[in-house]
A and B are shown apart, each in its own frame.
Chain A
């Protein structure tokens, strides 16, 4: 096992991309709260303002819709944040996107040179152009293979639930050399204001995150566990220790936490402590002991549906 995956196995709780991931200082707080690694906001080749406000709204308790639109300062301006993360000994996954195979690769290599411990390839933001990649197994293969070729550090590929068959995309990523998979990115969604009769988000549609998507994410991880051999990072709606445990049982080797962390910087510590309590009460030594345990039962599940 590589150094990176050893660290994740020790502390299988990771900050998800795009939540408090602009500055090293907020990521540092979450790392100190017990995360094994942090994923930065998705970073592209050049500065991008993203979509105007409203771009992040809580629409149900603990459930959010966002269309940030990949706002980021561009990799060259972000290098200093990566260096600051590393100066603070923080295990850093840089989330990367681009507008072509070349730019994806360029950004990933620059992040690697700046000291990133791993790269997470964002091919799945539902409200941006790049989402076409994760909807097509050939494109997924091409992008993943090209970036992987230039990397010495692990490559994680983040998948979208907004596809007919997430399994074939995951297999494609695995075949192209992905070292792990994150599932899932946000769920395509829309919210309309009934007084003005228009969508609330300036962009129109956006991605749903938080509590409402947790069962969707659990089901995707459950399916993927049956078909891929690389580790899966479960992501979507983890608000409690129980939510995290569900992911491990479905087959995730680690969980990513995003939306829940807006509450306060201690939120992640509470989630981790309650999850650890579960291990203690049920006499398990580590989270790896329960990975995939929900698969030991006869159900009428057909693997790919």
Chain B
């Protein structure tokens, strides 16, 4: 784990949509220069990304490989992400991490069982390495990407190329400009109905996206007795469990450490989930 922010050079930038870019960098230089012990990241883990002079913000790993090329996929929403957005190849950014836990994959081998992955907008980022892992494990999956409108669709080409035989890829748009018209949760509801009718068993649902979406998915899964995992967002300072800013009530679960991926068992105990978060001062607000 990289504990102190270390600078890496951006080696590749891919524009995914108008407001989303993926940045790739190789971390071998950091590992060698500072003799840092390396462990492969798990899908769902995140970095604290430092843009000197601006801010340091949490970003999920949207990719990593054996070459130790890591990537983050950034949506432009404010000052720090906008500055990141304007960086060019060879520019430096600071990283520390990876922090948090990743997605726990429930393994099973019967071929009428499946795993559904639901991403809302930029929430697709941490799901990309998860999808790769599921495919590697030959687990049958359905991927749902929900966005507001056609222009916001990301990773479409990548997923269409990747998801070939046992996998299905659906897109929903709120305005109906592409694919299913409506929310990802509605699409999810209609898909699981069909799958259950076909005699398939949904073993696990994995998700990242707006909390309201995950909250609804969680409740649908609770009714149907399906294991759910969602990657949550909370304000973060330390990213490793010290400051307490990202704590969920009343269990004291730290999103940066016991999370960001939390499963049904934990989510059942979190009255904050879907309802409250904290701002940078620590003040609790309604979501």
Give me the interface of A with B, judged by CB distance under 8 Å: 18-26, 28-29, 41, 47-50, 52-59, 64, 68, 71-74, 77, 191, 193, 195-196, 198, 200, 202, 259, 261-265
Contact = CB atoms under 8 A, between A and B. Distances in A.
A22 B52 contact: no
Given A26-B247, A54-B5, A265-B252, 20 more contacts: A19-B243, A20-B243, A20-B244, A49-B281, A53-B56, A53-B237, A56-B243, A57-B3, A57-B96, A59-B3, A71-B280, A77-B283, A193-B52, A195-B7, A196-B52, A261-B242, A262-B238, A262-B242, A264-B241, A264-B257
B117 interface: no
Contact of B4 (A22, A191, A261): A191
Chain A contact residues: helix, strand, loop or mixed: loop
Nearest to B242: A262
A243 B250 CA distance: 31
Interface residues of B, number: 37
Contacts of A198: 52-53
Contacts of A48: 281
Nearest to A53: B56
A200 B55 CA distance: 11
A133 to B, nearest CB: 22
B179 interface: no
Given A53-B237, A58-B4, A59-B4, A26 B254 contact: yes
A19 B254 CA distance: 12
A24 B247 CA distance: 10
A33 B282 CA distance: 23
Given A22-B282, A26-B254, A64 B242 contact: yes
B251 to A, nearest CB: 6
Interface in B232-273: 237-238, 240-245, 247-252, 254, 257
Most buried by A among B7, B96, B244, B278: B244
B55 A26 contact: no
A200 B4 CA distance: 9
B7 A196 contact: yes
B122 interface: no
Most buried by A among B48, B252, B282, B283: B282
Given A41-B244, A48-B281, A196-B7, A25 B251 contact: yes
B7 A23 contact: no
Contacts of A263: 241
A262 B240 contact: yes
A58 B50 contact: no
